[in-house]
Chain A
Amino acid sequence: MESRSIALEQETDIAVARNEVRAAAAGMGFSIVDQTRLTTVASELARNIIKYAVRGRVIIGTVQNDSRKGLRLIFEDNGPGIANTELAMRDGFTTGGGLGKGLPGSRRLVDDFKIESTPDIGTRVTVVRWLIR
């Protein structure tokens, strides 16, 4: 599968990203539960971009590691950034009136989770879920 980028500019784009991620996960042979996990992560992180950074993109691609294959999602934006990523990863912490479960919950739904953020430069969240054979 070639990697592809989806622009996130309005709320309806979240649904598009979600459908694309589900289709990609299904195409790679992920189970229904894993498809739902990845779709949920896409929903959370795409919504964060719309909510906090206004616009950004998600790049859907595959990664290969030894004998394993995985689906990798990169969420990028040039938004305000996160002042304290450690705090943002804590359960229940929110600056936007939500449940505060989006980031920490997403981390629990994938195998690899990396968040890089610089205030006023932007944020990039990279997640990978490995395919178990």
Chain B
Amino acid sequence: MSEQMTSTQARPVRVVDVLNNRTDELLDDWIKARLDSGEFRDELISKKELQTQSRQLVEMLAKAIRESGGRDFSDAAFDDLRTLLNELSRERAVKGYAATENASYILSLRDAVFPLLIQDMEGNIELLVSEMTYFTRLLDKMGLVMIENFINSREQIIHQQRADMMELSTPVIKVWDKILSLPIIGTLDSRRAQVMMEALLHKIVETGSTIAILDITGVRTMDTLVANHLIKTVTAARLMGARCVLTGVSPAIAQTMVQLGIDLTQITTRAQMADGIKLALEMSGRVVVSAKSLAAMTENIRTAGNESIKLAASRLAAHGTSVVDDNIQRTKG
């Protein structure tokens, strides 16, 4: 009860005299303490900037106390100061300060003011205590404003960053002639999936590709929405004459998809991106042969007799035929 009375009643405030008349002294002490505190970050704020800010703060604080007639921080006289604090904390949040540094900057003003106040009071203990209580209460409120605003600003930054992450573009990569690859990473929301699908379809037209490998190694969770987008993408690609191969399905996602009841049997899948590329090459009528076995074959042709040439040639032919056959089967299916 008594707290409320002292804080709401208008009265002369002696601490204003300290703030007004001994500003330079006060600022020197305050800034020196800040520089020595170990919290001062010269990479974030210059000494000069700190001096300017601090002077402005002290002047506004003195003005507000005087105009309010010693009322508490909720008084309209403190509105300008509140705006300044908001600006300061927002600026500091952007610069990467910690919340505690922000508050202790304001709270440490007390350590600079009190010794001067004690000198001024010349032993009038009763008045000194009342002045100290008033000033401490003000600073506490100011510190809270700094923290609250700081947190709000940080939240805004986090929100923005989260939005940026979602925006991460998904590049469509040409892996081979007529073969595209789309590595999907992170979270797929409707909008991002839409953008991705459009990019893929455009690239299919642009490059005249016939096969697209969709790799979901970087996707941690596949829910029905993502699955729906995948199915739509595959269907749309097929309408444009391109076939899709889905790769990078983790065991956890595979089990989850089955329990969710999502039917992806219409989509060709391979465990890894590498398998997908191999399949894509075969689907476009190519095989990968190691240079070593090519060399060995050439060597055989040059040196060996008729039989081994026949054998090598028939092996190669058999592999080629099987790839072609598979492709015929795929086209039918």
Tell me, yes or no, whether B127 is within 8 Å of chain A by CB: no
- Size of the A side of the interface (Cβ < 8 Å), in residues, is 27
Interface string of B195-226 (1 = CB under 8 A from A): 00000000000000000000000001111110
CB neighbours of A55 from chain B (8 A): none
Q: Are A47 and B225 in contact (CB under 8 A)?
A: yes
Tell me, yes or no, whether B251 is within 8 Å of chain A by CB: yes
Q: Are B260 and A105 in contact (CB under 8 A)?
A: yes
Q: Are B159 and A44 in contact (CB under 8 A)?
A: no
Q: Are A99 and B224 in contact (CB under 8 A)?
A: yes
Interface of A is mostly: helix
Q: Are A12 and B159 in contact (CB under 8 A)?
A: yes
Q: Which residues between 1 and 49 of chain A lie within 8 Å of chain B, taking CB atoms?
A: 11-12, 14-16, 18, 22, 32-33, 35-37, 39-40, 43-44, 47
- State A35–B175 Cα separation when bound (angstroms): 34
The residue in chain B whose Cβ has the minimal distance to the Cβ of A45 is: B223
Known: A44-B224, A98-B225. A91 touches B261 (CB 8 A): yes
Contact of B222 among A12, A35, A40, A108 (CB under 8 A): A40
CB neighbours of B261 from chain A (8 A): 91, 101, 104-105, 108
Q: Are B189 and A14 in contact (CB under 8 A)?
A: yes
Q: Are B190 and A11 in contact (CB under 8 A)?
A: yes
- State A109–B256 Cα separation when bound (angstroms): 7
Q: Are A12 and B259 in contact (CB under 8 A)?
A: no
- State A43–B187 Cα separation when bound (angstroms): 11
Tell me, yes or no, whether A102 is within 8 Å of chain B by CB: yes
Tell me, yes or no, whether B57 is within 8 Å of chain A by CB: no
- State A66–B244 Cα separation when bound (angstroms): 49
Q: Are A37 and B163 in contact (CB under 8 A)?
A: no
Q: Are B221 and A11 in contact (CB under 8 A)?
A: no
Known: A12-B162, A12-B163, A40-B260. A102 touches B251 (CB 8 A): no
Known: A11-B189, A104-B261. A44 touches B223 (CB 8 A): yes
State how many angstroms separate the Cβ of A19 from the closest Cβ of chain B. Answer: 9
- State A102–B256 Cα separation when bound (angstroms): 12
- Size of the B side of the interface (Cβ < 8 Å), in residues, is 26
Known: A11-B190, A101-B262. A47 touches B163 (CB 8 A): no
CB neighbours of B222 from chain A (8 A): 40
- State A105–B228 Cα separation when bound (angstroms): 14
Known: A11-B189, A40-B221. A108 touches B259 (CB 8 A): yes
CB neighbours of B162 from chain A (8 A): 12, 15-16
Q: Which residues between 225 and 240 of chain B lie within 8 Å of chain A, taking CB atoms?
A: 225, 227-228
Q: Are B220 and A39 in contact (CB under 8 A)?
A: yes
CB neighbours of B228 from chain A (8 A): 98-99
Contact of B224 among A18, A36, A105 (CB under 8 A): A105
- State A16–B250 Cα separation when bound (angstroms): 22
Known: A33-B251, A98-B228. A105 touches B221 (CB 8 A): no
- State A11–B159 Cα separation when bound (angstroms): 12
CB neighbours of B187 from chain A (8 A): 15, 18
The residue in chain A whose Cβ has the minimal distance to the Cβ of B259 is: A108
CB neighbours of A18 from chain B (8 A): 187, 221
Interface string of A76-115 (1 = CB under 8 A from B): 0000000000000001000000110110111011000000
Sample 16 A-B pairs with CB under 8 A, ordered by A number.
Answer: A11-B191, A15-B162, A15-B189, A36-B253, A37-B255, A37-B256, A39-B221, A43-B225, A98-B225, A98-B228, A99-B262, A101-B261, A101-B262, A105-B261, A108-B259, A108-B260
Assuming A32-B251, A99-B262, A105-B224, what are 13 further A-B pairs, CB within 8 angstroms?
A11-B190, A12-B159, A12-B189, A32-B252, A36-B253, A37-B252, A43-B225, A44-B223, A98-B224, A99-B228, A102-B224, A108-B261, A109-B256
